[in-house]
Chains A and B, each alone.
Chain A
Amino acid sequence: NAGVTQTPKFQVLKTGQSMTLQCAQDMNHNSMYWYRQDPGMGLRLIYYSASEGTTDKGEVPNGYNVSRLNKREFSLRLESAAPSQTSVYFCASGRDRDEKLFFGSGTQLSVL
């Protein structure tokens, strides 16, 4: 049982480059989320998808776009990476908003 799978685990980008972080869950969950985690700041929500076909902004959406490709997959795209986007990114899913969240193992992104 894979749970939530994120790729890649590590990535180094130059300022201005673009990339897409992939996330897939095999638990038939409705809700999916993208978070970033920075030292001393806790996790902050970038975007979420309450159900297939819907996406909404979270606390820090600027510089990011998302796609809920189907019920299983939720991708996060950085169109023009900036050093301020250096962070650890986590994807998470849950059956519903009142249910436990399950997290992927994270992507460590460095933007030089």
Chain B
Amino acid sequence: KQEVTQIPAALSVPEGENLVLNCSFTDSAIYNLQWFRQDPGKGLTSLLLIQSSQREQTSGRLNASLDKSSGRSTLYIAASQPGDSATYLCAVAGNYQLIWGAGTKLIIKP
């Protein structure tokens, strides 16, 4: 059974720092991996989707990598801003079911 883990559960950093969020999964047989952002009291917004055949995806200041062999993905955020404060979730796709991590709550201090 696929399990997805995100460590740390919470992270607080000063504005301007580059940071890395981690996501690990136990079964390498995946279709894709997505990173989402969730703001308090709101729905989720898809940030990046990496297909199983890809190694990384980039969007603006965000870069996500995927290493299926080690069961790991990282989300790199460059030059963090207070507006990046949110909970970041990763989800691994197997058939039609996404398996979710519990998320990392990120706080960027001005």
Contacts and interface: CB of A to CB of B under 8 A. Distances in A.
Contact of B95 (A40, A97, A101): A97
Interface string A77-107: 0000000000000101000011111111110
Given A42-B89, A43-B89, A97-B96, A106 B4 contact: no
B46 A101 contact: yes
**For this complex, into which size category does the number of interface residues on chain B fall?**
20 to 34
- Dominant SS at the B interface? strand
A48 B96 contact: yes
B49 interface: yes
Interface of B: 4, 31-32, 34, 36, 41-46, 49, 51, 89, 91, 93, 95-98, 100-103
Interface of A: 4, 31, 40-45, 48, 50, 56, 58-59, 90, 92, 97-106
16 contacts: A41-B102, A42-B101, A42-B102, A42-B103, A43-B89, A44-B100, A50-B96, A90-B43, A90-B44, A97-B31, A97-B95, A97-B96, A98-B93, A103-B45, A104-B43, A106-B42
